Structure 1
Amino acid sequence: MKLTVIGHWGGYPKRNEASSGYLLEEQGFNLLIDCGSGVLSYLQNHIEAYDLDAAILSHYHPDHTADIGVLQHALLIQKYLRGNDKTLPFYAHNEDKKGFESLTYKDLMKGMEYDPAASLEVGPFSISFLKTRHPVPCYAMKIEAGGKTLVYTADSAYQESFIPFAKEADLFLCECNFYGDMDGSGAGHMNSFDSGRAAGEAGVKKLVLTHLPHYGDLNTLKEEAGTLYNGEIILAEKDLQFII
């Protein structure tokens, strides 16, 4: 699997960047994970919108959904320019019915409900879910293909269930929206110690901190997480790629 960070900021994108969005590729299949503000623009540094084979959504907060509307418009315009006539399946939970219904657009995008209690097969990927601690229904994802495992926490306060869910994952894409001396649980987010603890106790092979704060020295997040996890820690950044 190849993972490309398209956007990694929490809440809103910093200048010339994007909020949450990740491109996962395997066997020529392109899966977009979340579609926050700025994601469509920077996705095109790697692939065109019409080259997406599927997309999946963790939850309906704007920093994860803001570019879905413009993605739909891109598919519409490319249909006229290129004659593209495929329908993009966009997988999401249906606990926000209005949000879920907005995913379907003409014959170009179709909202596809996933069952969080079951495994979902999307192209070469097998995806399982874990409900997170967040103000709205949100699901972490374990994505497996080719004998490798990626775990994406999406947005969440710390929860013990991350440990078995992410056990020995090859890459742990973990939100880290607060510094270690801050309590993010009320907002439904983790701090750097939470991220390091989850990674350490799960025994993951690599920790990537994402959904980052807009203030402070981000290297401090790595240092703090490193007090509880002794593996490789990387700060997410635009266009960063990983072979899993």
Structure 2
Amino acid sequence: MDLTVIGYWGAYPDKNEATSGYLLEHKGSKILLDCGSGVLSKLQNYTTLEELDAVVITHLHADHMADVYSLEFATLISMQLGRRLKPLEVYVYYKDSARLDFCYPQYVNVHQITPQSVVTVGELTLEFSENIHEVPCCAVKVISGEGKSLVYSGDTGYCQEIIDFSWGVDVLVLESSFYNWQKGLNHGHLTAGEAGQIAAIAQPGRLILTHLPHYDDHQQLVLEASVHYNGEIQLAYCGMKLTI
């Protein structure tokens, strides 16, 4: 199972980069986790849009789904031109369907996901857990047929659910929106220290800090997380590749 970080910024993309977007590939299957601002353009450096099997949207904040409607239109064009032979499967964590603006059901199959959902794409199995956030939001666990596992947190505050959900996974891609000095400013996001505390309990094989702020030294985030978690910690960056 291969992971490529398409975008990792919180709130808005930096110049020539993107907010949340993560491409997973396994034995020909391709899944995009979140499709934030700038992701659609950057994604095409690593795969054609026609090759995507599925997209998972963890919640309806723009930095996680701003490009998904453009992707819908790209799918329409690809199918009309015969470049794509089947609709794109889109899985969205939401509670109010009125907030969704998909227009072309013949080209995009939109599915509501819940904490009880289990999705299979090729030999990958996807499970979900609800987070603490300003709007309904989920974390995603991806398990390969060989038993390798990854959890992508989406956006979350500190909660027992994300700890339990992430326990023992090979890679934990965990948001780190704030520095420790900002603790308490937003209960729907994590400080780096809280991310380290989660990893210290869940004990993933590797911790990737993502959804990063646009200020100060990101190496400080690693230092603050490492106070609690003594495993490998890396900062996400556009184009980062991992084999799990």
Taking structure 1 as the reference length, the TM-score comes to 0.95
Percent identical residues: 41
- The residue aligned with 1:236 is 236
Which piece of structure 1 moves more, 75-84 or 7-16? 75-84
Aligned partners of 2:169, 2:223: CA distance in 1, in Å?
21
Q: CA deviation at 1:96?
A: 2.6
| Structure 1 position 160 matched with structure 2 position 188 | no
- The residue aligned with 1:149 is 149
| Structure 1 position 96 matched with structure 2 position 68 | no
- The residue aligned with 1:38 is 38
| Structure 1 position 73 matched with structure 2 position 79 | no
Q: CA deviation at 1:37?
A: 0.4
Aligned partners of 1:222, 1:140: CA distance in 2, in Å?
21
Aligned partners of 1:13, 1:72: CA distance in 2, in Å?
21
Taking structure 2 as the reference length, the TM-score comes to 0.95
- The residue aligned with 1:130 is 129
Q: CA deviation at 1:107?
A: 1.8
Give the secondary-structure state (helix, strand or coil) at the position aligned to 1:181: helix
- The residue aligned with 1:27 is 27
Contact 1:132 1:156 in 2 (8 A): yes
What is the Cα-based RMSD across aligned positions, in Å? 1.5
- The residue aligned with 1:61 is 61
- The residue aligned with 2:218 is 218
Give the secondary-structure state (helix, strand or coil) at the position aligned to 2:183: coil
Give the secondary-structure state (helix, strand or coil) at the position aligned to 1:229: coil
- Structure 1 residues 217 and 177 mapped into 2: Cα distance closer, same or farther (>3 Å)? same
Unaligned stretches of 5+ residues in structure 1: none
- Structure 1 residues 45 and 135 mapped into 2: Cα distance closer, same or farther (>3 Å)? same
How many correspondences in the alignment?
Answer: 243
Unaligned stretches of 5+ residues in structure 2: none
